[in-house]
Amino acid sequence: MPRRDGRNDDDLRPVTIVPGFARNCAGSVLYTCGGTTLLVTAQIAEGVPPFLEGKGVGWLTAEYAMLPGSTPTRVSRRTDGRATEIQRLIGRSLRAVVDRQALGPWTVHVDCDVVNADGGTRTAAITGAYVAVALGLRNRLGPERAAAVLKDSVAAVSVGIVEGRPVLDLDYSEDSRADVDANVVRLGSGGLVEVQGTGEGGVFSRAQLDALMDLAEAGIDRLGVIQRDAIGG
C-alpha cells in the first residue's frame, strides 16, 4: 500500500538542491527533502584550531540549529543536547571524506540551519552539507585542489519500520510512530560512516535490519546522483 504521501516503501521524498543560495559564502545550498528544508553554508578560512597549529593539516567543523519557526511550536535559539549530538555527527561524516593533509592549514566551517522540519533533518543536513563543502572548496581553493581534498562523497538517509513495513526516508508523521528508526551515513564508494538504529517500539530482527540497510543503500545511491548534478560533475 502507498504511504500517506503516496510514496512506495522504497521511495525517497522529492529532493531539490539550489546551489549558491547564500551569495556571500564560498559554498551554500538550499536543500529541500519533502517538507524538510535546510540552508547549509560552507566557509573556508585560513588557520586551524590551536590543537592543530604547526601540524600542517586542516580541520572541518559543523554547527546545526533549528530556526525558531521551523516547527509549529517556536524553537528556542539555544544549543541543546540534541543539536550538539547532531552537529558532531555532521562533522564526523564530512571529515570522513576530507583529506586534511591535502587541505593544509585551513578550516572549513559548516553551518546547517533547519528552515522547516518534517523529519530527517540530520540526514538532510549531511547530504546537503557535502554539496556545500564541495562547492566551497572549488570556489575558494580552485577545482584541482578541491578534487585532492575531497576523497569521496558522503550522503545519509533515514529508514524505519512503520506498521510492520520497512520504509525509506521517513517524514515526521512516520518517524513519530515508527517501531524502529535508523539513520545511515555512507560514502559514495560504499563504506559506512555511521549507522544509528533504535527499536523505539520494541526489538527488531537481523532480517529486518538487513532489509533496512538495503533500502538505505539504494536511497543513498540515488542521493549521490542528485548531489553530483548539483555540484556539476
Tell me: the pLDDT tens digits for 50-70? 999 999 999 999 999 999 999
Euclidean distance between CA atoms 141 and 182, whole angstroms: 36
pLDDT digits (tens, 9 = 90+) for 136-174: 999 999 999 999 999 999 999 999 999 999 999 999 999
C-alpha cell at 102: 591535502
The count of other CB atoms within 10 Å of the CB of residue 57 is 15
For 21-37, what is the mean pLDDT? 97
Q: What are phi and psi of 100, to 5 degrees?
A: -70, -25
